[in-house]
Amino acid sequence: MNNNKSILVIEDDPDIGIMIKTILEYNHYSVELIERGEEVEKVANNTLPHLIIMDMLLSGVNGTDICYRLKKENTTSHIPIIMFSAHPNAEKICMDAGAEDFIAKPFDMNELLAKINLHLS
Amino acid sequence: MVESNTGVKLFLLVNINPLFDKDGNPDGAINIFQDITESKKTEEALKVSEEKYRRLIHGLPAAVYTTDKNGIITLYNDAAAELWGRKPEIGKDMWCGSWKVIDADGTTVIPHDKYLIALCLKEARKISSNEIFIVERPDGTRRYFQAFPEPILDQDGNLIGAFNMLLDVTDSKTVEEQKARLASIVETSDNAIYSNSPEGIITTWNKGAEKLYGYTEQEMIGKPISILIPVGTDTMINEPTIQHYETKRIKKDGTLVDVSISVSPIIDNKGNIIGTSKIARNISLQKQQNRELQESSERLRMAIESTEMGTWEFNLELKKLIWSAETKNMYGLHPDQEVIEEEIRMQNHPDDQEYVAAEVLKAMNPDSKGDFNIKYRIYRKNDNELRWLKVQGKVFFTNGNPDRFIGTMLDITDEQKKEQELKDSVELFTIMAENVPAMIWMSGNDKFTDYFNTTWLEYTGRTLEQESNEGWLENVHPDDVQKCISQYQYYYKKQKGFYMEYRLKRHDGHYRWIADNSAPRFSADGKFAGFISACLDIDDQKNSSEKIQQSELMLNTISNVSPVGLWMTDINAQNIFVNETWIQWTGVPLEHNFGTGWLQKVIEEDQLTAPAKFLESMSKKEKYTTEFRIRNKEGVLRWCLTEGSPYYDINGEFAGYAGSVTDITEMKKMESRKDDFIKMASHELKTPITSIKGYVQLVESIYAELDESKMLSSVPLVKNSLNTISKQVSKLTRLVSELLDLSRIESGRLDLYKSKFDLAELVEEIVQDTRHTSTRHIINLDKNFDGNIYADKDRISQVIVNLLTNAIKYSPNDDLINVSVYGDNTSAIIEVVDNGIGIDKDDQNRIFERFYRVEGKSEQTYPGFGIGLFIVSDIIQRHRGSISVESNKGKGSKFKVVLPISDDEQQ
């Protein structure tokens, strides 16, 4: 049922990124994983995924800035973004940046799947 | 005056005494010479003694007190308390206290800030003023005084207080007034009062003299006195004692006038007569009368009665007393009253009755010469007043039996009074001089000291004989003797009082500092007569002030070398002190820190909060602690922690706060690094946990799949998941063991388990393992070391892994890493060289510190605990090895570990 849904995952820690990719793929999503924040906007504009999952802290760039810019861009503004972080005050920062949802690290994959399902239905 | 056969000059009062016949009629006269030398001397001595007494009061250092720079009294003596009429509280009362000072006119109350001491403290200078003020004591009595305040300066010339001497001049004021009164009496006296020089030149001339002689003052000053004296008259210009005589003088109009003249010599301090003063009275009329009276015995009798001396005769045969009117007058009897022996005996003072009776019997003893000379007291009949009488007489014997007893009587009450006064005065002087706590000495006009009071003698433990003349100098500290002598001689010449300090040997052999305050003495005629001096032992004061100086110096030193800033406030929260450390930090000079000046380097955000917190603490007298930030003199932001506590003065009064300022910038940085570490640690730990959790959930959901074929198809995924879980658990284990290592290092429990192993082999193993896990990097190994080292293999392995991991971590773009191991027979060296981002020079020395992570934008790029190199460094140090780094920012780093091949323990 999720066959035609594509998700872009941005996570600089490959351990976490691969884990998310594996589980989402097991759940029949098509997943693109990128490690570097700088590539997000380009990829998002090219592939126009159904949903973006993004870590708030990314190597070199700030996840919230990317979120903000994606939400401003006409072509990508409609794409729901779920952000996650281990930072205690991250939720408000992410919501302020325009994210649709937030999930705290270490997260429960079942909870993440539920949120993805919610935003894609 | 006559000269006795022993060469002593005597004053004699000559009296012509009538003799009476049985009917009481005069039938002759005898001359009686009365020796009044003693009473004359008494009179003189009284004057001198009074002068001494007065000078002593003036010469005493008198009221002395000191204040601190705020005018709070710190010390005062008894004389001061006496002057003020109260005892102000030391350390609390101001110089002004609660008493009142009024100007010399006694009209205007002087405001406290106009006191000389206030001026002295305000301007930090000695105030020289001879202005006289009045102090009104609490009981309303007033004293005149002069104040001589002097500032007390410390060695740097800063004002630390004031010293004030208050001279009670009430007496001299009174004397001045008396002098003025005397002068006006002289001026207005009807008696002619004038004086002349030894050469007979008239030097003063009053109105009375003008009236008597007809010459005016202008006419007579500078003229020879001889123009007044008739040719052939005895002149008596230069007699050394007081003379009373009657003579004739020439008036301006050329006529003669009968005068009674009293001549007093004016004697200087060397005993030379420098002139005479004369009081002359016109007695022409009296003379005239006298001459007439002398013509008859009645007149003679009257003449006798006009003298002060009474005569008496005791007719022993008839047991009858015959008294002259004057004698009766002395007893307070009417001239016509009959004298009855029993009655007049009752008038004798009870204490003298026996004595008089015994003396009478003695005189009437035929074996004696019949001389009778007594002094006794009676109560005068008419007014019951106690009078002293001097009675002299002689018993005449006929055939060995007393026949007639005749003599004179003189009322000597006034003389006795004077004598008593002298005695009192001398006694008072002695009591005072002997009882004052001050040591007193007195010198005469021969420069030598001739009097030391008991206090002095007890102090030095010497006798008056030992101390007299220059003997006292023997006990003065050898270094001070010359000073004493020269000062004394200098002021002796100037005839001025002086103050000096010197060391005097006390009876116990210790030299102690003495403050010697001397005042000049003047004889009755105003001649310099030496010094009177009061001395005080000021050794304790001197020592304590020295000790205070020493302890101040010590405190200063401590405070200035202290690594923390120090400060003090007064009770109004105003800064009164900061130490050199604070001044060094801020670059703000001491005086600009006073009050609220210290705030100028505090950054704006903290400028209100820090003082507000201080005031809050101060209101409760609680300990004050706060943090604030300053910009130091280089403009660098520094964190300061200040802690202060209230302090109390010697009386337990709250006196302000004293505290310290610690530069906690490094502590703050450490704190923030620790915060970062905790954040980082939680992030680092959460990542593998998140991963593990995710895979576990994946495996769970695979096994929950009901479709068996579907589940089977997922077996590789399960295998892969478990593999990842295993890796993540290893990572977690490594992180946890790092944390454990850290806590071991911190508690000093990181133990080494040493063994011999092949270092090159270990390095090679690790490099190969790393090549497997990090395929992106090329790791070259250069092995140039053979043999074993004695060390903890696991820990050394940890070191190499850590260095290699770091090299990979901080070389995101460059893949080449060179590892080399080499050495000689004492050391083994491992080098790990990367071509990565490198480390700033400033950071290079600090990367081995706990929690230290290179700051900057890339912070988020290279997550880690920031404890790896700290642990590495600690392990190397425990092996008695060393670790160093060479690095260029942007070009890469070289870590070099040097390990001893074997350590001392093994050998």
Query: What does the pLDDT look like over B888-901, one tens digit per residue?
Result: 888 889 999 999 98
Position B54 pLDDT exceeds 60 = no
**Counting beta carbons within 10 angstroms of the beta carbon of residue B886, is it exposed (0 to 12), middle (13 to 18) or buried (19 or more)?**
middle
Phi, psi of A96 (to 5 degrees): -65, -30
pLDDT score of A1 more than 60: no
| Better-scored residue on pLDDT, B886 or B237 | B886
Distance CA B217, CA B849 (A): 108
Residues 672-691 of B with CB under 8 A from A: 679, 682-683, 686-691
- The Cα A35–Cα A14 span in angstroms is 7
Q: What is the pLDDT of residues B424-442, one digit of tens each?
A: 666 666 666 665 667 888 8
Per-residue model confidence (pLDDT) at position B870: 84
Per-residue pLDDT, B833 = 93
More reliable by pLDDT, B40 or B844: B844
In 3D space, the residue among B15, B38, B8, B35 whose CA is nearest the CA of residue B415 turns out to be: B38
Q: Which residue has the higher pLDDT, B192 or B294?
A: B192
Tell me the DSSP string of B407-473. Answer: EEEEE-HHHHHHHHHHHHHHHHHHHHHHHSSSEEEEE-TTS-EEEE-HHHHHHHT--HHHHTBTGGG
- What letter would DSSP give residue B902? S
Look at the block and give the residue holding tokens 């949802």: A101
Residue of B nearest to A20 (CA): B694
The secondary structure of residue B826, as a DSSP letter, is S
pLDDT score of B748 more than 60: yes
* A105/B687 CB distance under 8 A: yes
Q: Is the dihedral of CA B198, B201, B205, B209 positive or negative?
A: positive
Provide residues of A within 8 Å CB-CB of chain B: 13, 15-16, 18-20, 22-23, 26, 57-60, 86-87, 105-110
**Locate tokens 């690094």: which residue?**
B673
Exposed/middle/buried for residue A19 (C-beta within 10 Å: 0-12, 13-18, 19+): buried
Q: What is the pTM of this model?
A: 0.39
Instruction: Please state, in angstroms and rounded to a whole number, the distance separating the CA atoms of residues B675 and A88.
Output: 13
CB atoms A109 and B698 under 8 Å: yes
Task: Tell how many helices (H) and how many strands (E) occur in chain B.
Answer: 26, 38
**What's the gap in Å between the CA of B674 and the closest CA on chain A?**
16
What is d(CA B62, CA B517) in angstroms, rounded to the nearest whole number? 10
What φ, ψ does residue B418 adopt, rounded to 5°?
Answer: -60, -45
pLDDT band for B43, please (50, 70, 90 cuts): low
How many whole angstroms separate alpha carbon B157 and alpha carbon B154? 5
On the question of pLDDT at B906 being above 50, the answer is no
8 A C-beta contact, residue B793 and residue B762:
yes
CB–CB contact B720 A22 (8 Å): yes
Q: CB–CB of B698 and A26 under 8 A? A: yes
Q: CA distances (Å), B526 to each of B198, B459, B835, in order?
A: 18, 33, 107
Handedness of CA B141, B142, B143, B148 (dihedral sign): positive
Report chain B's mean pLDDT, rounded to a whole number: 79
Q: Which of A15-29, B579-593, B671-685 has the lowest mean pLDDT?
A: B671-685
Q: Look at B270-274, B829-833, B836-840 and tell me which has the smallest mean pLDDT.
A: B270-274
CA distance B268 to B527: 6
Q: What is the mean pLDDT of residues B243-260?
A: 80
- Tell me the C-alpha to C-alpha distance, in Å, between residue B594 and each of B128, B468, B564, B736, B873: 32, 57, 18, 54, 48
Radius of gyration of the CA atoms of chain B, in A: 55
Q: What is the pLDDT of residues B312-354, one digit of tens each?
A: 888 877 778 888 888 888 888 888 888 888 888 888 898 888 8
pLDDT digits (tens, 9 = 90+) for B393-424: 888 877 778 877 888 888 888 777 777 776 66
pLDDT at residue B818 in the model? 93
Beta strand B273-282 with B192-196 is: antiparallel
**3-state DSSP assignment of residue B220:** helix
Write the single-letter amino acid at B565: G
Pairwise CA distance, residues B664 & B671, whole Å: 10
Contact B450, B444 (CB under 8 A): yes
Give the closest-approach CA distance of A47 to chain B in angstroms: 26
**Looking at the predicted structure, is the pLDDT value of residue B606 above 80?**
yes
- To the nearest whole percent, how much of chain B has pLDDT over 90? 11
Cα(B26)–Cα(B163) distance, rounded to whole angstroms?
A: 76
Closest residue by Cα to residue B257 from B294, B301, B213: B213
pLDDT at B59: 43
* pLDDT of B849 strictly over 80: no
In angstroms, rounded to a whole number, what is the distance separating the alpha carbons of residues A46 and A8?
11
DSSP-derived secondary structure letter, B108: P
pLDDT value, residue B866: 67
B714 — contact with chain A (CB < 8 Å)?
yes
Could you tell me how many CB contacts below 8 A there are between chain A and chain B? 60
Picking from B456-470, B554-568, B583-597, which range would have the lowest pLDDT averaged per residue?
Answer: B554-568
DSSP symbols for B575-621: EEEE-HHHHHHH---GGGGTBTGGGGGB-HHHHTHHHHHHHHHHHTT
pLDDT at B229: 84
B735 touches chain A (CB under 8 A): no
Residue B619 pLDDT: 92
| A contacts of B730 (beta carbons < 8 Å) | none
Min mean pLDDT across B37-41, B131-135, B865-869 is at B37-41
Span of B272-281, B615-624, B641-650 with lowest mean pLDDT: B272-281
Instruction: Quickly state the pLDDT bin for A63 (edges 50, 70, 90).
Output: confident
Q: Under DSSP, is residue B375 helix (H, G, I), strand (E, B) or coil?
A: strand
User: What is the predicted pLDDT for the residue at B39?
Assistant: 59
Task: Enter the tokens of residue B396.
Answer: 């005449």
What would the pLDDT profile of B755-771 be if each residue is shown by its tens digit? Answer: 999 999 999 999 998 88
pLDDT at B55 over 50: no
Residues B90-128: pLDDT tens digits?
A: 788 877 654 688 887 777 888 888 888 888 888 888 887
Residue B470 — very low, low, confident or very high, per pLDDT cuts 50/70/90? confident
Tell me the mean pLDDT in the region B465-487.
88
Return the higher-pLDDT residue of B6 and B769: B769
Mean model confidence pLDDT for chain A: 86
Is A59 in Cβ contact with B687 (below 8 Å)?
Answer: no
pLDDT of residue B861: 44
Q: Calculate what percentage of chain B has a pLDDT beyond 70.
A: 79
* The two structure tokens encoding residue B713: 């198809």
Query: What is the rounded CA–CA span in Å between residue B391 and residue B410?
Result: 6
Show Cβ contacts of residue A6 under 8 Å, excluding neighbours closer than 6 positions. A29, A30, A31, A32, A47, A49, A50, A51
Angstroms from B727 CA to nearest CA on chain A = 10
% chain A with pLDDT above 90? 29
Looking at the complex, does the CB of residue B697 fall below 8 Å from at least one CB of chain A? yes
B777-793 pLDDT, tens digit per residue, is 889 999 988 888 999 99
- Mean pLDDT across the stretch B544-554? 69
Closest CA to B679 of A30, A59, A57: A57
Least trusted range by pLDDT, from B96-110, B235-249, B623-637, B708-722: B235-249
Rounded mean pLDDT, B535-557: 73
**Number of other residues whose CB lies within 10 A of the CB of residue B315:** 15
Interatomic CA distance for residues B201 and B204, integer angstroms: 9
Contact A19 B683 (CB under 8 A): no
> Do residues B867 and B798 touch, judged by C-beta distance below 8 A?
no
Residue B404 tokens, joined: 């007639």
Torsion of CA B731, B733, B736, B741, to 10 degrees: -110
Which residues share a beta bridge with B308? none
B726 vs A: CB within 8 A: no
Q: Which residue has the tokens 């900057």?
A: B856
pLDDT at B57 over 60: no
CB B323 within 8 A of CB B309: no
Of A13, A59, A109, the CB nearest to B694: A109
**Cβ atoms within 10 Å of B586's Cβ, excluding its own:** 22
Angle A63-72/A40-47 helices, nearest 10 degrees? 40
CA dihedral over B691, B696, B700, B702, signed as positive or negative? positive
pLDDT at residue B545 greater than cutoff 80? no
* Residues on chain B touching A110 (C-beta within 8 angstroms): 697
pLDDT at A80: 94
Q: Which one of A58, A59, A106 has the shortest CB-CB distance to B689?
A: A106
Is the dihedral angle over the CA atoms B771, B774, B776, B777 positive or is it negative?
A: negative
DSSP-derived secondary structure letter, B338: P
Residues B181 and B423: their CA atoms lie apart, in Å, by 27
When mean pLDDT is compared over B60-64, B352-356, B683-687, the highest value belongs to: B352-356
